[in-house]
Structure 1
């Protein structure tokens, strides 16, 4: 039995894929080859995809959408999963959860909520951070809002929010390109009790020497003649 699982709620849902350390080939060669912090962040979690291929635009007051291969734009308010299934030419089952919205527009202007068609299950005391795809160039038309779902006990729809910041520009959603990323985080990591334990060490004669040694030790893994020293040290420690 796997520790993390994603369950599709209707046909056509795109399975999550493991996040790509090379950020789908978009960054510079040096970043992918030598920068382990970049690779680790890019490869952390899973990619999630939109439930349908379509185009969306916001005119400042309302959303409209155009399904792929359709001719006419339609108002976009709340589109239930069963409605989406019918629009794609299939017949939905009688499952009650298909009445849940795939697209919905909260009262806040420019906000669009999208259900990936997935439910997630994680070990107890673990959550999923829903966010934009790390290190992938984002859209200038919208931004992905971050959210944390406590999927160790809450097994509802895995949702993401897009906040549009430009009007009358068409955005394409493709089932071939990730829209969100989800990353596992322990619940304890974002509790206030832990975050309040942060220590700040001001500069002093005593701390300066200790800090200088920390920095010197950190830089000791670097080699100007051979980039990627930090990455090699990470690999060595993992092997050990």
Structure 2
């Protein structure tokens, strides 16, 4: 196995849009919307919710699939302004996207021909002509990570799933792929208007080391169906934990065990958060 999960991690996230909401660390409390009991007494939920960095859409907009073709529109005061068709592989572009390129520093201007195929603008939406309910959204975000590190692009963890929408996940080798991060959306309900907001996370970028991916491909999976297949040590550990869980005098047994391990092992680093973050 090459690489090591202890390699230092640096993540850089840039946007082509000057007024886009910047990426930020994911919120363990879902910016205050996760029940306090889940944050305080269920470290696995808080740890998963706070793992990664949010990516936001550059603007408020909506998509609508009629069962055959997909349309999109900007939102003004939360209402559609004018529906535009994406049929036939038509590219949707934001009205002010070309101005973002004009604001490029002088040393970048000689390279702006890379946007010529989009009419000297930044691509935004592109529906697959073979499957019109599958849309590629370009948020304008480019990410770069330390050597050996990749980013998983997926929906924001534990945010309620939006009706009529599926977000495809992908592992991007951002230690060499310094380009626009792909975001593939699938509209699942004909006639359903799906809204996106520039202040609500669209997806989350989570780091994973190459060595972890390699370890997964070479991992030995052991399964056991029925109690006769359980090893004695697995059963013993299971029983000990369940006894603590069923003791009415013991609460937050998972967090208590984390604390015990910290006290007894100075090198042990618990996964999770101690205090919930504040809603923004």
- TM bucket, shorter chain: 0.7 to 0.9
Indicate how the Cα distance of structure 1 residues 231 and 238 shifts in structure 2: closer, same or farther if over 3 A, else same: same
* Separation (CA, whole Å) in 2 of partners of 1:46 and 1:121: 13
Which residue of structure 1 lines up, in the alignment, with residue 97 of structure 2?
Answer: 85
Indicate how the Cα distance of structure 1 residues 238 and 21 shifts in structure 2: closer, same or farther if over 3 A, else same: farther
| Cα RMSD, aligned residues only | 2.7
Note the alpha carbon deviations across 1:42-73, whole angstroms, 9 max, x for none: 11001111121112111122221221236321
Say whether 1:47 aligns with 2:54.
Answer: yes
* Greater shift in the superposed pair: 100-109 or 42-51: 100-109
Note the alpha carbon deviations across 1:154-174, whole angstroms, 9 max, x for none: 111112111111011111110
The answer to whether the 8 Å contact 2:164/2:189 transfers is: yes
TM-score, structure 2 normalization: 0.74
Which residue of structure 2 lines up, in the alignment, with residue 9 of structure 1?
Answer: 16
Q: Which blocks of at least 5 consecutive residues in structure 1 are unaligned?
A: none
* Separation (CA, whole Å) in 1 of partners of 2:24 and 2:100: 27
TM-score, structure 1 normalization: 0.85
* Greater shift in the superposed pair: 228-237 or 196-205: 196-205
Say whether 1:225 aligns with 2:253.
Answer: no
Higher RCO by CA contacts (8 Å cutoff, separation 6 or greater) = 2
The answer to whether the 8 Å contact 1:51/1:115 transfers is: no
Match of 2:18, SS state, is coil
Note the alpha carbon deviations across 1:22-58, whole angstroms, 9 max, x for none: 1233343322221111111111001111121112111
Q: Which blocks of at least 5 consecutive residues in structure 2 are unaligned?
A: 1-7, 103-108, 267-280
Q: CA offset at residue 217 of structure 1?
A: 4.3
* Separation (CA, whole Å) in 1 of partners of 2:230 and 2:146: 40
When the two structures are aligned, how many residues end up with a matched partner? 235
* Separation (CA, whole Å) in 1 of partners of 2:13 and 2:260: 33
The answer to whether the 8 Å contact 2:56/2:198 transfers is: yes
Match of 2:212, SS state, is helix
* Separation (CA, whole Å) in 1 of partners of 2:53 and 2:32: 16
Say whether 1:59 aligns with 2:66.
Answer: yes
* Greater shift in the superposed pair: 162-171 or 214-223: 214-223
